[in-house]
Amino acid sequence: MSSGSELVLMNRERILRSLNRMAHEIAEHNVNDASIDLFGINDRGYAVADALENLLTPICNDEVQLFQLPLKEKKPQDALEDIKLRDNHYPVIVDDVIFSGKTMFEALKIISSYINPLEIHTAVLIDRGHRKFPIKAEFYGMELPTKLDEHVSVVVEEQQLENVKLTKYA
């Protein structure tokens, strides 16, 4: 693929504003005040989940737990084997960008094999649309319908969310 033109969609300040709104939405939808389990997918999803944990902790009545789900590894379920997951928690699968829904679907299959919650929630920083799987981004920072020849990337440096870029390929 040839290089394309880049556009910064969100800077650090806008990302934090969006995540703060998402944290409040997650807390409001947690009507039973259950402990919240955030499952960050791979590295960038984990960075988003980590930022959400920092924002959720002061506003929640119960604890917030953070887990990394490394789907790129051969056996990602191994990351959950030693964790004491409980069915009565409020699980939220977190990723940086959702596109086809495949990654979120894979995470859902793994998590649901370890716990049997009444519901599982999803949160993403960017929702691009174009689903191939029946997955909805329940909590999102920005809804951005894109073209198939465009790419959205969340830039993470030293576990900090720096910006979100849109690259258009010609």
Q: Is residue 163 part of a domain?
A: no
Q: Which residues pair with 139 in a beta bridge?
A: 123
Q: Is residue 134 part of a domain?
A: yes
Q: Is residue 9 part of a domain?
A: no
Q: Is residue 64 part of a domain?
A: yes
Q: Which domain holds residue 107?
A: 14-147
Q: What is the pLDDT of residue 89?
A: 87
Distance CA 120, CA 116 (A): 9
pLDDT tens, residue by residue, 116-144? 887 899 999 999 988 899 999 999 999 99
* Contact assessment for residue 80 and residue 112, using Cβ atoms and an 8 Å cutoff: no
pLDDT tens, residue by residue, 68-102? 998 887 676 666 766 666 667 899 999 999 999 99
Reported as a pLDDT band with limits 50, 70 and 90, residue 162 is very high
| The model's pTM | 0.91
3-state secondary structure at position 81: helix
How far CA 160 is from CA of 27, 43, 120, in Å, comes to 22, 11, 26
DSSP string over 86-125? -TTSEEEEEEEEESSSHHHHHHHHHHHTT---S--EEEEE
3-state secondary structure at position 14: helix
Q: Is residue 47 part of a domain?
A: yes
Contacts for 99 with CB less than 8 Å, ≥ 6 apart: 128, 129, 130, 152
CATH number for the domain including 134?
3.40.50.2020
Looking at per-residue pLDDT, the higher value among 150 and 4 belongs to: 150
The encoded tokens of residue 67 equal: 């887990």
Q: What is the pLDDT of residue 83?
A: 66
Q: Is residue 170 part of a domain?
A: no
Q: Is residue 4 part of a domain?
A: no
Looking at the predicted structure, is the pLDDT value of residue 2 above 60?
no
- Tell which residue, 112, 163, 152, has the closest CA to residue 129: 152
- The total number of structural domains in the chain stands at 1
**Element holding 22 (H helix, E strand):** helix 12-29
Q: Is residue 3 part of a domain?
A: no
pLDDT tens, residue by residue, 4-55? 799 999 999 999 999 999 999 999 999 888 899 999 999 999 999 999 999 9
How many residues are listed for the chain in this entry? 170
